[in-house]
Amino acid sequence: MDLDDKLVCAAREGDREAFSRLIVQYQEMVYALCYRITGRRHDAEDLAHDAFVQAFVKLETLREPSRFVPWLRSMTLNLARMWYRRQRDEEPLVETAAGEMDAYDEAECARLLQSVGRLPAAYRMPVVLHYLEGMPCEDVAVFLGIAPGTVLSRLHRARRILKEDMIQSEDEEAIAMTGDARFEEEIDAEISLLLEAFEGDRQSADRLSAVLVHSPQRLARLIREPASAVTVTNLARLLPRLGRPGIAIVVRICVEGAEAALDVLETLVGRFQENRLNIGAPGMPDLTMYLIADELLAQSKDVARTVEVLIALMESTRHQASGMLLGEVVLSLGETGYSGLFQKLQQSSDPQEPYPLSNYVFQTLRNAGTWFLDDINAKLRQGRSEFWLAALDAFGAGICDYGQRDGRPAVPGPRFIGETDDATKVALVQLDQSSIDRGAEIAAGYLASPEAQLQRTALRVLDRLHAQEYAGQVADRLTDADSRVRIAAIYAMAGLGAHQVATRLLALAESQDAAERRAAVQAIGRLSPEGALEMLRTRLADSDPQVRGSAVIAMGELRLPELDQELKGLLKASDQVIRKAAATALYGMNRKAPVAASPGAPRYSTTCFSVPHAIRTRHISLDAAMRILPEMRVYSEPEVTQYIAQVCGDWSTIRRSLVDQRLLDREAGQYRFTDLGQAVWRVEHAIMDGWVQLGSGGLARV
């Protein structure tokens, strides 16, 4: 008895370690067979996973261990047949004469197998069974449940397609597993859950996908009353594979109040930082998150409970795009969602809490616009000054470059869709200027605080809110006894464009404090006072390397064309700091001459986010592509291309990725939404509806 036979015997007796070794031994073989049949890596991995789970469950029926490999192949083919019957094209085919497949030499085998994987489903299965598995045409017909003549015609047509594809494709990678230990871990997780659900009875067990159909109460029982933390982890690991049916059960039990179900969801989203998506589109939420959000919205009879669950999931994930998606869904639920987020923020005590980008609660609230700003102002008047002043500072950090909508300041919501003439598709959140003014007034009051930290934060707030009317009070802080306050005042004066104090900055550039010199040098570059160039040249010999680098950058900010040659000369300086700064000044900055602002011009930009001249969202963005599709219907290829091109630069990659990620199915030039694609579309459009409400005047208090 060889080693494989011993492993089979041990696995048949329930040895999980022995079965894991069999998985490692034969996963490439099973995956390659599945890929030839499905033509897509995702489907091939799913099918291979099911094949090994089925093999473990049915292993006791294998009497001859030496027959394990053909038995495994036969089981895989049977599962593939069921998959094929669900997927196959029912359109009639033209009957033509059959022929024999041409022989290919060994050097072409890899490309041939890749070409087989790209065949339409109706042709792929007969080719795999007949040419690669050696099954006679008559048996193929019985296996697939079609007429023998149909088998022959499909084989003939497949030959023609393969020849054309082989001519066009000169270099394709060999079929190989794209996964890692995750493949084996997920099989082991499913086996553990099956043994738990069926109380160790392997003969009665079935794959979880079948359990979901025939006895979902078994899975529901595991979710309500998991035996251990391991059970929760296994459920979370397998939930993406179970898809919408499994997620629907977990969500239903969760919204009913079962904490164990919430534990499963929290464990799942806690793994999203791994970002298993392979779409070349940074910033895309995990696709499983869309299924969860879609189910929560569909089952949101108790909106307060839905908000509670969504916020709990927000706090569990470390994947920024997924966390922000959840926050956007919460805010789309109106006042209940906003109140839930604000209450969660109020539970914080750390003054640094509002700043991190990973604080999805605060980042979402900031995009509620005036409503959130008013609440911050109200809290500042009530107390907890350090925390809420920091919140106002962090809020201002998101609007310092705001644009306008309908003549009012506005910031783009996170689902900002990009270039379109349809104003309802551009999620700009309006801000009330009087609320901004109140925030600036409150912040200015803290300039007289005895606490240096509050003064520094207040100075940043006035800078971020463009509160030029307080420039005189900010200038008074330039002589403060605390150097940190003086430095904050220098930066604020530069941000406010306070040219009246520019000459004072020249003196501060001679300070004994290196940090103060550095701040003054940077401000001089932005304000460009008379005598700035001479002062900056002297700072090139400063003892502090950061001051030297800042001086070079400031020279670039002066935007003097005659400085180009001088900066190019600095590229050859012996000082590495100066060389790098010179490269940045020459090639990493916008050095075009600024356009002078007209008298009485608004203090916010009108160029970045005004409708309809919005910039494209990103070069590659699947979520923007799904948002721009106006309806859930079948689209022709030209239609899909025209819509995507409105928001994404690389529409060709996006169109292909929508199919690769199973958001859309493409057949004969027609694009249809998959179940996953429908979930993504519904969630994105629910969010957009919420942002349109915000953009048209903000959330209304009830």
- Residue 691 above 80 pLDDT? no
Among 60-69, 128-137, 542-551, 687-696, whose mean pLDDT is lowest? 687-696
Of the pLDDT bands very low, low, confident and very high (cuts 50, 70, 90), residue 35 is confident
Q: Which two tokens stand for residue 98?
A: 């059959």
Backbone angles phi, psi at 216, to 5 degrees: -60, -20
pLDDT above 70: percentage of residues in the chain:
80
97 or 282, higher pLDDT = 282
CA separation for the pair 402, 409 (Å, rounded): 6
690 or 230, higher pLDDT = 230
Contact 492, 460 (CB under 8 A): yes
CA separation for the pair 117, 453 (Å, rounded): 64
CA separation for the pair 655, 280 (Å, rounded): 13
Strand partners, 412: 428
Among 146-150, 179-183, 642-646, whose mean pLDDT is lowest? 179-183
Alpha helices in 561-674 (DSSP H): 564-570, 576-587, 622-628, 637-645, 651-660
Q: Which of 485, 519, 484 is nearest to 504 (CA)?
A: 519
61 or 84, higher pLDDT = 61
- Residue 210 above 80 pLDDT? yes
pLDDT above 90: percentage of residues in the chain:
38
Contact 99, 66 (CB under 8 A): no
Which residues, including other chains, have CB under 8 Å from residue 144's CB and lie 6 or more apart? 81, 84, 125, 126, 129, 151
Report helix angle 3-12 to 16-38, nearest 10: 100
- Residue 578 above 90 pLDDT? yes
Q: Is the dihedral of CA 147, 149, 153, 156 positive or negative?
A: positive
Mean pLDDT of the chain: 81
Neighbours of 382 (CB within 10 A): 8
CA separation for the pair 247, 297 (Å, rounded): 13
pTM of the full structure: 0.77
Across the range 219-230, mean pLDDT stands at: 91
Of the pLDDT bands very low, low, confident and very high (cuts 50, 70, 90), residue 563 is confident
Of the pLDDT bands very low, low, confident and very high (cuts 50, 70, 90), residue 692 is low
CA separation for the pair 531, 510 (Å, rounded): 14
- Residue 239 above 60 pLDDT? yes
pLDDT of residue 160: 77
Q: For the segment 387-436, what is each residue's pLDDT rounded down to a tens digit?
A: 999 999 999 886 655 555 455 555 555 555 444 445 444 555 667 888 99
Q: Which two tokens stand for residue 562?
A: 């005659």
- Residue 632 above 80 pLDDT? yes
pLDDT of residue 575: 93
pLDDT of residue 412: 53
The two beta strands, 408-412 and 428-430, are antiparallel
SS3 550: helix
Of the pLDDT bands very low, low, confident and very high (cuts 50, 70, 90), residue 282 is low
SS3 410: strand
Of the pLDDT bands very low, low, confident and very high (cuts 50, 70, 90), residue 673 is very high
296 or 693, higher pLDDT = 296
SS3 318: coil
Of the pLDDT bands very low, low, confident and very high (cuts 50, 70, 90), residue 446 is very high
CA separation for the pair 129, 133 (Å, rounded): 5
Q: For the segment 287-335, what is each residue's pLDDT rounded down to a tens digit?
A: 899 999 999 999 878 999 999 999 999 999 888 888 989 998 998 888 8
